[in-house]
Amino acid sequence: MSVTTTANPQTYNIRAVLADYDLHHSEEAQPDTSLNAHPAPSSSQNPVYWPSDHRRIPPYRPVNRHLDQTQRRVYQNGVEQVFVGIMFTGVYIESTVAWLWSKTAGRVWDVRYKIGGEW
């Protein structure tokens, strides 16, 4: 009959392991509100068509048509910009080839197959 133990006193010290999980509380510091400054919400009311029958719908906020897009950071670095550019270029090429195939040889030679119970 075999016995399985998880507390081998020679190699496993449970008090040392549990000591890693001790909680140490520090003084409660007041957060710096200047780090997360948000513009003041508009004082306008929600339009009549704005839904209110669901929970947690944020209040209506009109579109800011004077937003300067040049001040928005779109990519983190150049590598990310190249990756996203290649990815969307590939998607565009795939859609163009699929459209071209369906308009030309796809009418004669249908190579589609069922996926997940389609057709």
Q: Which residues contact 59 (CB under 8 A, 6 or more apart)?
A: 41, 46
pLDDT digit string (tens) for 33-92? 776 666 666 556 788 888 777 777 887 888 888 888 787 778 889 999 999 999 999 999
Give a yes or no: residue 26 inside a domain. no
Q: Is residue 57 part of a domain?
A: no
In a domain, 94, yes or no: yes
The more confidently predicted of residues 22 and 71 is 71
Quote the number of domains for the chain: 1
Is 16 contained in some domain? no
Residue 116 domain flag? no
Asked whether residue 81 is assigned to any structural domain, the reply reads yes
Domain that holds residue 80: 76-105
The verdict on residue 98 lying in a domain is yes
Residue 50 lies in a domain: no
* pLDDT given for residue 42 in this prediction: 59
Do residues 62 and 42 make contact, with C-beta atoms less than 8 angstroms apart?
A: yes
Gyration radius of the chain's alpha carbons: 30
Sign of the CA dihedral running 100, 102, 104, 109: positive
